[in-house]
Amino acid sequence: MNDWLGRAAPDLETIERMARATIEDLPPQFAAAARAVLLRIEDFAPEEVLDDMNIENAFELTGLYDGIPLTEKSVMDVADRPDTIWLFRRPILDEWAERGEVTLGQLVAHVTIHELAHHFGWTDEQIAEIDRWWE
């Protein structure tokens, strides 16, 4: 019980390290392309994002992919912003506390892989090959 005395919740940098470790652990055919996606960690999604998605409670959104999936990109596309994966620390921590049966690292990995799936255009079966939690 005393192990928790003086401890603080994991900060943005800790969540980012967990997400980057997940990317490094991807199968080689995906890791390089995943490293090219910008990774942003914030406490909560920006209000305009929540408004655009009709989400009233910021705790409902743990992650977001912002970009054009590789399966839809064309060499003719002009990128107006980089492909970005957003992870939202406070909703992730809230879900982790609610679940109780998974580690924070497992949950961050799951959210990261879910957002990468949008980038790569993976099917549920492809996601399950990488993230057993998806099964």
- pTM here? 0.87
Q: Is 116 exposed, middle or buried, given 0-12, 13-18 or 19+ CB atoms closer than 10 A?
A: buried
- pLDDT in the model for residue 132: 67
Question: Is the pLDDT score of 23 beyond 60?
Answer: yes
**103 within some domain:** yes
Residue 28's SS3 state is helix
Predicted pLDDT of residue 133: 64
Look at residue 2 and tell me if it is in a domain: no
Residue ranges making up the domain that contains 118: 9-68+81-134
Task: Flag whether pLDDT at 79 surpasses 80.
Answer: no
**The pLDDT of residue 100:** 85
| Averaged pLDDT for residues 16-36 | 92
For residue 58, what is the domain's CATH number? Answer: 3.30.2010.20
User: At residue 36, what is the residue type?
Assistant: A
pLDDT value for 1: 55
Q: How many CB atoms lie within 10 A of CB 77?
A: 9
Domain count, the chain: 1
